[in-house]
Structure 1
């Protein structure tokens, strides 16, 4: 059964090494289909969109984000050391019941009762799953999902896969102060929107939808991880205060992809996830757009538009997202409905 959890059969296989961080590598790398490089006007649009995203996530005017990396040499060096030495202290916890749950989800003969029993064996995962399942990103209609059995019945196996993937992020929502909480909440909203966009675009391409939902979550999860780790570094090795927005932007730009690869490693995701991440980070000449790339671009633009932040025009959006107009409008409509109907508390669930 293909999907996010198809990695179970290769659980013990060797995963690719993490690529070393490339300074100032963009998250949003649109390249015109068939173009020889990524330095054209479409790439500039991706940079503009990313700048707007940082201003919103960090709740800071663009002018506050312009300080250079040399101003934060000590903090960045410590973050890079922890990343390279696998000493990050703020990585998300993997539920102990996950391997058994993954095997059950990958088995077509697994009954709903067995799946429910496995989930209920982990109280923390149970609580996270129910809260995520009742967010408007997942819950169909107005019906409140009150039990794990009901969630499995209503959402189905594919739906439960995605809910569990999203529930991985939920413990990262706990914040030490209001600024960290705002960043986590906005990152959560952005991550789920990008994941949904990547999932829907993968369906158009007849690709693995559940896998693209999970890989679409990784950038947002990496942002929350970096934000929390850098906060810890500043409190213990730096100024003793919360990291400044400009420092956070430098860290996110510089280490976002390496952190995504690290998260894929610690979750034992199969090699194709690493390949998708690397392809989005460093698109090859004449490379066609992937569902991940288009999902990140479209999800980012629609989240910013809904939040009434600077984003991109309709014409520029069509230039960087490589979908036929009818399919692009269909995906956008679905994303806008989720963003419009979801109350802030439900979006954060």
Structure 2
């Protein structure tokens, strides 16, 4: 079992709550034209996104069933508040926290970075792969890791390092939901990180915003695994209240994981303010998260691309700024060929 597979499981799932089987495509949830014109509440977008990720059917806005309430109570007993045993989470390999700290130091030279990175062969391979892509094609061949680091630049290197940490987590087997859900979580994480950088200009550190966007939904897989392993019975209907409660618990787990991984204080504050969004980075993360959800779902034709989201700007961004952010996401993710050195 790989180092990161311990978080979301690698073995066959234990008997538990059986949710809808993962399909290759989420069940479309068409918008009513007047709803799109008037604006969707952010909570409705998040509900649609959760169902999209896990291929859950739509549900009427009715009170949770007794079985749902029992499942939520059990889930809260396991994962709510600070009750989740963070010691069961894998720690980052030693080199990665060191690199994250080093990359905040503008005076650190390429030789020192190459020394740190050279301790992680997988990260070395990822850097060489990225530097060999079309975006970094150069006349002279890359002769060393240090040469690649200098060419990639500190900003591009920050992205490679942070994605090297998060991509295996989100692509890991998320219990009963499998690889499709993991891929969708990763696709959202990429878009959320990109949108967070776009919106961070003049408000907060772009790298910290990028990192906050990447980790923003890491707790979802852990919650899915808990549902799979610990709960008994079967749920045929998933009401919006049930989905919202599961999402809240997942957000708490995301914050616990971020603390355990010793992510930067500003990232922790943004994750802790998820429901209020008063700090600049919290507002950036709120808007980026919703923009990424809409863009990803629109790519799969489960929501209208130009859907208006109530409160998307978090009191900070104008409709024009948000529209430009979405347009930038479309340009960036128009093809499957992703590059790393595009943060300004």
TM-score norm. by structure 2 comes to 0.69
Q: How does 1:44-55 map to 2 (within 5 A)?
A: 45-55=41-51
Structure 1 segment 236-251 matched on structure 2, within 5 A: 238=232, 246=238, 249=243
**Residue 312 of structure 2 corresponds to residue 320 of structure 1:** yes
- What does residue 87 of structure 1 align with? 85
Alignment-derived partner of residue 299 in structure 1: 292
Structure 1 distance, partners of 2:85, 2:272, is 22
Equivalent-residue separation in structure 2 for 1:89 and 1:67 (angstroms):
35
| Equivalent in the alignment of 1:4 | none
* Matched-pair contact (CA < 8 Å) for 2:42–2:309: no
- CA 1:287–1:100 in structure 2 vs 1: closer, same or farther (change >3 Å)? closer
Alignment of 1:2-17 (within 5 A): none
CA contact (8 A) 1:75 1:233 kept: no
CA RMSD of aligned residues (A): 3.9
Distance 1:112 1:327 in 2: 36
> What do residues 188-222 of structure 1 show as CA deviations (whole Å, max 9, x unaligned)?
0011101110111001x342111111111222212
Matching residue within 206, 211, 217 for 2:208 = 211
Distance 1:117 1:75, change over 3 A: farther
**139-148 vs 255-264, greater mean Cα deviation:** 139-148
1:183 corresponding residue in structure 2: 181
1:153-184 Cα distance to aligned partner (Å, 9 max, x none): 33311221222222222222222778321111
Separation in 1, partners of 2:319, 2:134: 27
Give 3-state SS (helix, strand or coil) of 2:153's partner. helix
**Shift in alpha-carbon separation, 1:223–1:111, aligned structure 2, 3 A:** same
Q: Does 1:333 align with 2:331?
A: no
Go from structure 1 to structure 2 and tell me whether the alpha carbon gap of 1:287 and 1:157 turns closer, same or farther (over 3 Å shift).
closer
Partner residue in 2 for 1:155: 152
- Separation in 2, partners of 1:79, 1:318: 30
Give the Cα separation in 2 of the matches to 1:93 and 1:289. Answer: 25
* 8 A Cα contact 1:301 1:312, kept in partner: yes
Q: Residue 259 of structure 1 aligns with which residue?
A: 253
For the 8 Å contact 1:191–1:220, the answer to whether it is kept is yes
Question: TM-score, normalising length from structure 1?
Answer: 0.68
8 A contact 1:66–1:246 mirrored in 2: no
1:224 counterpart (218, 221, 224): 221
Counterparts of 2:63 and 2:312 in 1: how far apart (Å)? 28
Q: Distance in 1 between matches of 2:251 and 2:330?
A: 27
Paired position in structure 1 for 2:119: 121
| 8 A Cα contact 1:188 1:220, kept in partner | no
Q: Is the 8 A contact 2:196 2:213 kept in 1?
A: yes
CA–CA separation in structure 2 for the residues paired with 1:130 and 1:190:
25
For structure 2, list consecutive stretches of 5 or more residues without a partner in the other structure: 1-37
State the alpha-carbon separation in 2 of the partners of residues 268 and 309 from structure 1: 36
1:185 to partner: Cα distance: 0.3
Instruction: Report whether the alignment pairs 1:107 with 2:105.
Output: yes
Change (3 A) 1:128 1:266: farther
Gaps in structure 1 of 5+ consecutive residues? 1-40
> How far 1:304 moved relative to its partner?
1.3
Q: Deviations over 1:243-296 (max 9, x none)?
A: 878398366323132112202211223443333223331346x99981111111
For this pair of structures, how many residues does the alignment match? 292
- Aligned to 1:60, what secondary structure does the other structure show? coil
Native 8 Å contact 1:91 1:225 kept in 2: no
